[in-house]
């Protein structure tokens, strides 16, 4: 049971990080002349194993920061 929760938590955290990166990048694209990037380029990019691991680490980091800030905002505005 604990292993399933750890694996599902990592997947949810990575999905959250990829979603935040996707929205942030493409909203920034609207104000600049950059090209639109698909969600799959943030979730699982093609390339070397090192590039995929770096992308996964970045998704986990951004997802953790977003989730932590969301919980802090919930605490602040619900008191």
pLDDT (tens digit, 9 = 90+) per residue, 19-68?
A: 999 999 999 998 888 888 888 888 876 778 888 888 889 999 999 999 99
Contact 40, 57 (CB under 8 A): no
- Tell me the angle at which helices 2-31 and 49-77 cross, rounded to the nearest 10 degrees: 90
Do residues 13 and 62 lie in contact, with contact meaning Cβ atoms separated by under 8 Å? Answer: no
Position 70 scores a pLDDT of 94
Predicted model pTM: 0.81
């Amino acid at each position: 049971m604990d292993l399933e929760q750890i694996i599902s938590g990592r997947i949810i955290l990575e999905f959250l990080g990829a979603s935040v990166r996707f929205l942030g990048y493409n909203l920034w694209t609207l104000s600049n002349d950059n090209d639109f990037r698909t969600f799959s380029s943030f979730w699982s990019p093609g390339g070397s194993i090192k590039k995929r691991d770096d992308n996964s680490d970045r998704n986990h980091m951004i997802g953790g920061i977003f989730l932590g800030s969301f919980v802090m905002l919930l605490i602040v505005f619900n008191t």
